[in-house]
A and B are shown apart, each in its own frame.
Chain A
Amino acid sequence: MQFFKTKKGRWWTWVLAILVGGLLVWGTQHDAAIYSDPIMQVTSVDTGAATKETDDFHNVDRQTKQTLHGKILNGTYKGQRLTVTNTYSRSGAVDQRYHVGSQLFVVVHAHSATHLTASAKDVKRDTPLVFMIWLVVGLLLLIMQFSGFMAFLSVAANGILFLIAILLNGSTQGAQVLWIFGSLSVVFATLTLWLVLGANRQMLITLATTLGGTALALVTALLVFHFTHEKGMYYESMQYVTQLPRPLFLAETLLGSLGAVMDESTDIISSLFALKRERPELSATQIFKSGRQIGSTIMGPLINVLFFIFVADTFPMAMLYLKNGNSWGYTFSMNMSMGVVQSLISGIGIVLAVPLASFLASRFMAKKVTA
Chain B
Amino acid sequence: MSTISVLGLVLLILMVLVGGKAGAQSFLALILNFGLLYLAIVLVAFQFSPLIVTLVVGMLVLALTIFMSSGDDLSSTVAFIASAVVLVMLIILIVPVEHWALVQGFGPEDSEDLEGLSVLVGVNFVQVTTATAILSTLGAIAEAAMAISAGLSEILEQHPQVALKALLGDGIAVGKQIIGTTFNTLFFGFFGGFLALFIWFTGVHYSVGEILNDKIFVSEILMILFAMVSVILTVPITTWVMTRAVAGQRKRAMKDTSK
Contacts and interface: CB of A to CB of B under 8 A. Distances in A.
Interface in B135-194: 135-140, 142-143, 146-147, 150, 172, 175-193
Given A125-B213, A240-B200, A254-B192, A135 B225 contact: yes
Contacts of A254: 192
B104 A92 contact: yes
B200 to A, nearest CB: 5
Interface in B60-79: 61, 65, 68-71
Interface stretch (B119-127, B241-249, B250-258): B119-127
B200 A91 contact: no
A355 B18 contact: yes
Contacts of B225: 132-133, 135-136
Contacts of B236: 143
Interface size class of B (residues with CB under 8 A): 35 or more
The B contact surface, by secondary structure, is: helix
A47 to B, nearest CB: 17
A61 B119 CA distance: 9
A102 B253 CA distance: 59
Interface stretch (A4-12, A110-118, A163-171, A361-369): A163-171
Contacts of A306: 139, 185, 189
B125 A91 contact: yes
B218 A347 contact: no
Nearest to B20: A296
A232 B184 contact: no
B101 A136 contact: no
B88 interface: no
Interface in B203-259: 203-204, 207, 209-210, 212-215, 218, 221-223, 225-229, 232-233, 235-236
A89 interface: yes
B56 interface: no
A125 B41 CA distance: 27
Nearest to B117: A324
A371 B129 CA distance: 47
B181 A267 contact: yes
Contacts of B192: 252-259, 342
A46 interface: no
Given A147-B177, A228-B6, A309-B193, 12 more contacts: A37-B210, A94-B107, A228-B3, A297-B150, A305-B139, A305-B142, A309-B140, A311-B37, A313-B223, A320-B121, A321-B117, A340-B34
Interface of A: 34-37, 53, 55-57, 59-61, 63, 89-94, 96, 105, 122-129, 131-133, 135-136, 139-140, 143-145, 147-148, 150-152, 154-155, 158-159, 162, 166-167, 169-170, 174, 177, 181, 188, 192, 195-196, 220-221, 224-225, 227-228, 230-233, 238-243, 248, 251-260, 262-263, 266-267, 270, 292, 295-313, 315-324, 328, 332, 336-337, 339-342, 344-345, 347-348, 351-352, 354-355
